Structure 1
Amino acid sequence: MVKGRGRVKGLFVHPVKGLSAQPLDRVALRPGKGIANDRMFAFARPEGRYRPGTREGLPKQEFFALVSDHRLAGLDTHLDAETEVLTARVAGHDVLKADLNTAQGRDEAVRFFTRVLDLPAGVMPLLAREPGRRFTDAAAAGDGPMDWISLVNLASVRDLESRTGAVVDPLRFRANVLVDGLPAWFESDAIGQEFGLGGVRVRAVRRTKRCVATEVDPETGRRDLPVVTMLDRTYGHRFMGIYLEVRTAGVVEKDSEFVI
């Protein structure tokens, strides 16, 4: 593999599966653990396999998310990790402020998202939270994968843009880490390799296969760009980014080095 040094250009946490990314300036990581509070909540399909107390990883199809519910991207949401107050805004105006620590707040959130998702009468999502578990896409592969963190190489995104003539917002890929300054597609040969990510060591464990959730514009909530088809036609695969397993404890900051 080509050696090089890049920089962390973005750090993100997604506290509620399918809702807004929240930027971070720094994050403390521990071996085998993901970013604190990432995908700690989700809205589960009432007819699906999730029930309170579920301890197994479930595929994303069991939850309301951008892969099937693009209107979620039209909300600007924020979850305060300390108070667990979930706020949603539309066009700069607050439309929800719910304390998920309380039964009343959870009920308010469920009723609000029932309306947003335009569910039939009598059908309501289940607000899912299981202490010590994350509702990541990789969770269906087991408890270890549940705590992987996701990385996207901005050079690879630019390469896709240059080959297709499309403008591709990297936020479509909902990664935890964005890096730049490295060769496009270095990640294609990275699986099994260890890297330096700021103050921690990480190991690349799996390429990230993309789904139609990437077709949704993160700003407008419109399904407007066939990203999966673009990848398939351009490269003969549907991958963008990699999953990383944290190997050592330490801190990663925005503009930290990423060393391959």
Structure 2
Amino acid sequence: MSVTVEALWRHPIKSHGREALTHARLTAGMSFPWDRVWAVAHDAAKADGTEWAPCVNFSIGAKLPGLMAIDAVLDEDTETVTLTHPDLGTLRLRPDEDPDALIAWTKPLMDPARAQSQRVLRVPGRGMTDTDYPSVSIGNLSSHRVVEQKLGTPLSTKRWRANIWLEGLAPWEEFDLVGKTLRIGSAEIAIREPVVRCLATTTNPETGKRDADTLSVLNEDREFCVYGEVVGSGEVRLGDTAEVI
């Protein structure tokens, strides 16, 4: 069975919505295009937007599960993002120009006992990934189905916030790819390391409520999906094949 691309996702504002795509052009040394371009720093953050910063500085789904229910659509030409949430309705904004609108819109999702969203940051030239290098995250649908089976319930893949979903690998085979390079479509991605998971994955992305103990059925290191680094620029489309080179 060949390995194929079954889904592509980007998350224009870190932890504030996801958007399904049919294709994307990956660039060597860069994050997935328009993925985590913006990030929402909270009032205890040390990040200032001049360089990459770890996720502890940001309002994210691990701390604020309601954020997990946001969907996003990005207009690349105008850099306008349209966000929707089942409890908040719709917000359309340009994050660089109107960050306060985003802060106000998400305020009902904030935990008063935690740091509050304060400002929107954008790091020049890269996305605010969870890795200190510009990364692309890759998921294995066979592994996802194992998690579903262990928990005895259907789960949305949106819980995992991966950029590329592959079909045709054996369960957990993605971990065997660490240290190897995949050609996906015409792009080449060097697989660097597993993704270590957090409480965000326990949240239903339709409701923003925690409802599944996903972490309990992962390995002891809580790994699911892998991070890769784009080493060869190229196009990736739904249905493209993936192979080790």
TM-score normalised by structure 1 residue count: 0.85
Partner residue, 1:247: 231
Partner residue, 2:192: 205
Distance 1:182 1:222 in 2: 30
Query: Which aligned pairs between 1:49-128 and structure 2 lie closer than 5 A?
Result: 49-51=46-48, 53-55=49-51, 57-91=52-86, 94-102=89-97, 105-117=98-110, 119=112, 124-128=117-121
Partner residue, 2:32: 35
The amino acid that maps onto 1:54 is: T
Query: Which of 118, 123, 131 is the aligned partner of 1:130?
Result: 123
Say which SS state the counterpart of residue 131 (structure 2) adopts: helix
More helix by share: 1
Distance 2:230 2:19 in 1: 21
Q: How many residues are matched?
A: 243
More strand by share: 2
Say which SS state the counterpart of residue 229 (structure 2) adopts: strand
Computed over aligned residues only, the root mean square deviation of the Cα atoms, in angstroms, reads 2.2
Matched, 1:193 2:190: no
Partner residue, 1:46: 43
Off by >6 Å, runs of 4+ in structure 1: none
Contact 1:113/1:125 (8 A) holds in 2? no
TM-score normalised by structure 2 residue count: 0.90
The amino acid that maps onto 1:5 is: S
Matched, 1:183 2:170: yes
- Runs of 5+ in structure 2 lacking a partner? none
The amino acid that maps onto 2:231 is: R
Larger Rg: 1
What are the superposed Cα offsets for residues 29-65 of structure 1, whole Å, 9 maximum, x if unpaired?
12121222110111101122112x432x322121001
Query: Which of 201, 206, 215 is the aligned partner of 2:202?
Result: 215
What are the superposed Cα offsets for residues 196-216 of structure 1, whole Å, 9 maximum, x if unpaired?
211122211101111111001
- Runs of 5+ in structure 1 lacking a partner? 140-144
Distance 1:154 1:246 in 2: 21
Distance 1:240 1:221 in 2: 20
Distance 2:223 2:68 in 1: 22
